[in-house]
Amino acid sequence: TLAAEDLLPVPAGIDPAAAETPIVNGIMAWQMLHRKARIQRGQTVLVHGANGGVGTVLAQLAQLAGARVIGTAAPRHHAALRAQGIAPLDYAAPDLAQQVRQLAPGGVAAAFDHIGGASVSRSFRLLAPGGTLVSYAVAGELRGKRSVVVQFCGLLLRLFWLNSTSRGRKAGFYNIWSGKGRTAFRTQLREDFAQLMQLLGQGQLTPQIAARFPLAQISQALELAESRTAYGKVVILPAQP
């Protein structure tokens, strides 16, 4: 069963697939931007995986907040990123850090990293004084031989070490789940979801849906989602009654 207080209202007239995207990806992006990094107008941010489900929403919300966005992605996604007003960079370029510094000589106000591992340290070094690194996944490590638990513990140790040598910069891990603060979590969740639904209803936020699959084709949907080739979110549609 699902508790009634865990339900979130979706305004009438909004495409269910479009509304689904902000439920996790959108709330993550909103909270990382506004509750963790506290982005301000005129700042520059670095979004890794700007073509992904979370990255596309992060970039849009950062722009709506008045920030300039540098986004990393495979070259095949660069035209789409430019069309969104994002400065695209190849995430695999050996001189990626140098390219970021050319675009943001003073450093970026915030970096959002879902890759994990050494990418976290590289992203941290690109921060401006007082900047914030928000790590929220270990996607780049998942195909390795180490367990997810070991990788996550390694990430937390890395973030701890970075904070100990921060020089005014800070690094943290974002987790959407409520933990012990369930009441406060629900309050923030409703507030942030309402903001996202308002932006969605006004047409200011456009969820990037890479593909829609019927439930019977869930294996194909997962294959596309895990391929890292999609631009945006892969949505699975429930069977019609």
Question: What CATH number did the domain enclosing 91 receive?
Answer: 3.40.50.720
How confident is the prediction along the chain (241 residues), in pLDDT tens digits per residue?
677 777 888 888 888 888 887 788 999 999 999 999 999 999 999 999 999 989 999 999 999 999 999 999 999 999 999 999 999 999 999 999 999 999 999 999 999 999 998 999 999 999 999 999 999 988 865 555 667 788 888 999 999 999 998 788 999 999 876 566 677 888 888 899 999 999 999 999 998 899 999 999 999 999 998 887 888 889 999 877 5
Report if residue 218 sits inside a domain. Answer: no
Report if residue 106 sits inside a domain. Answer: yes
Angstrom distance (rounded) from CA 118 to CA 136:
14
Report if residue 208 sits inside a domain. Answer: no
Residues of the domain holding 169: 15-173
Report if residue 70 sits inside a domain. Answer: yes
Strand partners, 188: none
Overall number of domains in the chain: 1
Are the C-beta atoms of 231 and 54 separated by less than 8 Å? no
HSE-up of 142 (CA within 13 Å, CB side)? 9
Report if residue 188 sits inside a domain. Answer: no
Report if residue 21 sits inside a domain. Answer: yes
Question: What pLDDT is recorded for position 241?
Answer: 59
**Alpha carbon distances (Å) from 50 to 31, 53, 171:** 17, 8, 20
Question: What pLDDT is recorded for position 33?
Answer: 97
Report if residue 40 sits inside a domain. Answer: yes
Question: What pLDDT is recorded for position 1?
Answer: 67
